[in-house]
Structure 1
Amino acid sequence: MVRICLLPLLSGCNDANSSISASSDTVSKQQIDTIITNINKQYPDASNELKQNVLNTAVRAIENLVFVKGGSFEMGDFGAPCEIPSVTRNRIDWSPDVKCLASFSSAETGANKVHKVTLDSYSMSAYETSFMDMEWMRQINGLPVAADKMDGYHVIKGEVIERGSEDYEYLLTRRKNKATRTINWQQAKDYCQWLGNLTVLPFDLPTEAQWEYVARNRSEKRYYATNNGYLQYRNGQYFNPNTGYYIDYTDDEVNAGTSTEDQIGQWPANPLGIYGMSNNISEWTNDWYSPDYYQESPELNPQGPKTGEEKVMRDGLGTMTIGRVPNKIEEDKYYSSNSFRCSLQQQTPAIAKN
C-alpha cells in the first residue's frame, strides 16, 4: 500500500518542492519522482488532491505487479474425465487418460486445438482494476464516470452521472472496492496505456496466452484459477469415491462465490499470488478473436490475429482456465461481468526500491 508523506522533508519522501508525494516499500524514490514529474507536466491545472490520488493509483499499480517467469506450456483445452469422480464440475482432477473436452464451448471457440506456447517473462497485476482507480484516471482526463445513469433497472441513454451528485455518492458506496466495469475494450486498453505514460513502464493489457499461463499456475492442468484448482462454494459439497460419502466445504475452505465479488481480493489468490481469475468476471485481453487462431498460432509469444471484429475475454461466468469468450468491442451498457487487469510487457520485474 502507498504511504502518503505528510511532511515533505521526512526521510525517504519526495522532493520538498513537490505538492504531492508518496513512499513505498517496493517502488523506488526515482520511479515515484518520475511519476510525479509526469503528473505535473500532463495535468498542470488539476487540483493537488486529484494529483495525489492519481499518484497513489500509479504507485499502487506497480506495487501490485506479480512477476511471472516465462516458460512453455500446452495452451488450450487439455481435456477432462468423461465421468467426474467427485460428481461436480467444480472439482475435477486431470489424468493422462482423459477423453472428453473440459469446456463445452471449446470446439466452437477453437480452444480444443491444444498447441505449444512459449512465453517470455512478464508481470501481471495481482488484482483487477478497481472502480476507483478507473475513476481517478477518468476524472483527471475529463472523462465521464464509468457507469450508467439508471432509472430503476433501465439505463437512461445520453445521460451521465455527475460527480458530487447523490447518484455519484450512492455509486461510490456500492462500487468503491469492486472491479471497474467497462463498456468497451478501448476503455481497458486506454487505462493500461495511461499507467504506462505516467510510469514510463510498458503497461498494457495481457495477451490471451499470458492470461491462461497465469491462470494455470504457469503450466499446470488446473481447471480453475483458484488457490487449489477447484471452485469451493459456501454450502457446497462433493462426492468422495474412496469413502462413498459426500463431503461439505467448511467456511474456511470457501474460495469462490456464485456472483461477482463483493470486493476485490475477496477470495484467496492462486499459487502465483493473482486474485480473482475465477470470480464470475470476464477480463479483456489484447487479442483479436478468431476460432481458427489456435491452429496457426506461433509458438513464441503469440499476439492473436492481426485484425478481427471481436476481442478475446477470459474467465467469464462459470468458464474454466482454458475457456475463451469472444466479445464485441462495444457494449450497450456497463456490465458488472466485464472488467480487466493490466500487465507489464517487459522481461524484468518493475523497478524495485534502491
Structure 2
Amino acid sequence: MKNKWLGFACLLPLLSGCNDANSSISASSDTVSKQQIDTIITNINKQYPDASNELKQNVLNTAVRAIENLVFIKGGSFEMGDFRAPCEIPSRTTNRIDWSPDAQCLSSPLSTRKGANYLHKVTLDSYSMSAYETSFMDMEWMRQINGLPVAADNMVDGSIIKRNSDRYQKVVQYRKNQAARIINWQETKDYCQWLGNLTVLPFDLPTEAQWEYAARSRGEKRYYATNNGYLQYRNGQYFNPNTGYYIDYTDDEVNAGTSTEDRIGQWPANPLGIYGMSNNISEWTNDWYSPDYYQESPKLNPQGPKTGAEKIMRDGTGAMTFDRVNKPLMRDRYYPNNSFRCSLQQKTPAIILN
C-alpha cells in the first residue's frame, strides 16, 4: 500500500517541502505541492480550531494521502454490462475465463435479474479514483475530529465500541490496515465530501459507470479486476484442455483471497494500478439502483436514476466486474464486506507533475 510517512516536524525553517514554521502541524510529499498542503492545513485549523494538534496532524496526513493515492483515469467509451462469456468454459471454472468475440452466454446468473444483461455503450470524461478502499483509520480520524462515534460495533450485541475501552484498542490494532466498515451509504458520501472540503478538490463517490470502467481497466473485457483478469486463489486450480490435466496455482501466482478482512493492497493491482476491486468487499457507488436503468441510461457520463430506494454496490464475493448489487441505504450493523473508495470528479489530474 502506498502510504507515505507524513507529518514529521520541520527541523529547519528552510528545509525544502516543509510548511510554515508557525504552523502547529506540517507535512511533506513527493507529489502533493506545498501550496496544496498549506491549503489543507489552513482549512483544518479554520474548521477545527479546538482539536488537538495530534488529531489535526492525523487528519492532515489522511487528506494528503488521499490525493497521493489517486489514479488518473483517461476517459473513453466502452460497452457497459455483461459482455458475455463462452457457454462452455475451457478452464471449467468461472474464475478463469478468456473473452472472445463469439461469446454467446451471459457471464453471471444475476445479470438478467439485476439488469446488467443490457449491454450498452457509455462514454466517460476523465476522472481519478483512489487506488485503495478507504481504511478504517482514515475513517476514524474523520469521525474523531467531527465528534462522531467509532464506525465499529461489538459482535455480541451490536453496540458501538467506545474509544476509551480496551476493545477499541484491539480493534484499532486489528483493523488499521483493513477497509473501513460502513453501516449506511450516507457515511461514505459524507467522508468523500469531507475530503473535498479540506482539499478544495471535488472528491465524491464514483458513479457506477466510473467504477466499472476502472475495474475493467478502461473498459476492457475483463471478468475480474485483478492483475490478469482471473481469480487465482490459494489451493485453486483450473483445467488445461491442451494437456487434459488440472493445474494448481503456486503461491507466487495467487492474486486474490477469500476473506473480507484482508489487508488493503494485499493482492496485486489491476493494470491501472487500482487495488481491491475483486476482493470480496462490496463498495458503494453514488447511483440509485433500478434494474431497468441500463435500457434508458444516457450515453455520456450516466449518473444513475434520479431517485430510488436502494443504492448500487459493486464487487463482493465472486462478483465479476459488471455485477450489480443493490442494497438499502441503511444496514443493521458494521459488516466487514461493506466499504467504499472515493473518486475525484474533475477531468484533469489532482497532481500535475513537472
TM-score, with structure 2 as normaliser: 0.97
**8 Å CA contact retained: 1:2, 1:59:** no
**8 Å CA contact retained: 2:81, 2:322:** yes
- 5+ residue gaps, structure 2: none
CA distance in 1, matches of 2:166, 2:54: 21
What does 1:106-145 align with in structure 2 at a 5 Å threshold?
A: 106-145=111-150
Aligned match for 1:99, one of 104, 128, 141: 104
**C-alpha displacement at 1:262, in angstroms?**
2.2
Aligned to 1:293: 293
CA distance in 1, matches of 2:243, 2:40: 58
Task: State the SS of the aligned residue for 1:155.
Answer: coil
**8 Å CA contact retained: 2:9, 2:25:** no
Is structure 2 residue 44 aligned with structure 1 residue 5? no
**C-alpha displacement at 1:5, in angstroms?**
3.2
Aligned to 1:71: 76
Aligned to 1:239: 239
CA distance in 2, matches of 1:105, 1:133: 34
RMSD: 1.0
Aligned to 1:221: 221
**8 Å CA contact retained: 2:84, 2:107:** yes
CA distance in 1, matches of 2:6, 2:314: 33
CA distance in 2, matches of 1:219, 1:133: 30
Task: State the SS of the aligned residue for 2:258.
Answer: coil
**C-alpha displacement at 1:82, in angstroms?**
1.1
**C-alpha displacement at 1:6, in angstroms?**
2.2
Q: What amino acid sits opposite 1:349 in the alignment?
A: P
Task: State the SS of the aligned residue for 1:116.
Answer: strand
CA distance in 1, matches of 2:165, 2:352: 40
Q: What amino acid sits opposite 1:89 in the alignment?
A: T
Q: What amino acid sits opposite 2:243 in the alignment?
A: T
Aligned length: 349
Task: State the SS of the aligned residue for 1:7.
Answer: coil
CA distance in 2, matches of 1:2, 1:42: 24
Aligned to 2:326: 326
Aligned to 1:81: 86
Task: State the SS of the aligned residue for 1:196.
Answer: helix
**C-alpha displacement at 1:172, in angstroms?**
1.0
- 5+ residue gaps, structure 1: none
Task: State the SS of the aligned residue for 1:187.
Answer: helix
**8 Å CA contact retained: 1:261, 1:279:** no
**C-alpha displacement at 1:353, in angstroms?**
5.9
Aligned match for 2:158, one of 155, 160, 163: 155
Q: What amino acid sits opposite 1:169 in the alignment?
A: Q
Q: What amino acid sits opposite 1:67 in the alignment?
A: F
Task: State the SS of the aligned residue for 2:105.
Answer: coil
Moved more, 95-104 or 194-203: 95-104
**8 Å CA contact retained: 1:183, 1:335:** yes
**8 Å CA contact retained: 1:20, 1:36:** yes
Q: What amino acid sits opposite 2:81 in the alignment?
A: G
Aligned match for 2:36, one of 25, 31, 37: 31
Which of structure 1's runs of 4+ aligned residues deviate more than 4 A? Answer: none
CA distance in 2, matches of 1:138, 1:155: 19
Aligned to 1:256: 256
Aligned to 2:188: 188
Aligned to 2:95: 90
Task: State the SS of the aligned residue for 1:318.
Answer: coil
CA distance in 1, matches of 2:105, 2:351: 45
Identity of aligned residues (%): 81
Question: Judging changes above 3 Å, is the alpha-carbon distance between structure 1 residues 5 and 352 closer, same or farther for their aligned structure 2 residues?
Answer: farther
TM-score, with structure 1 as normaliser: 0.97
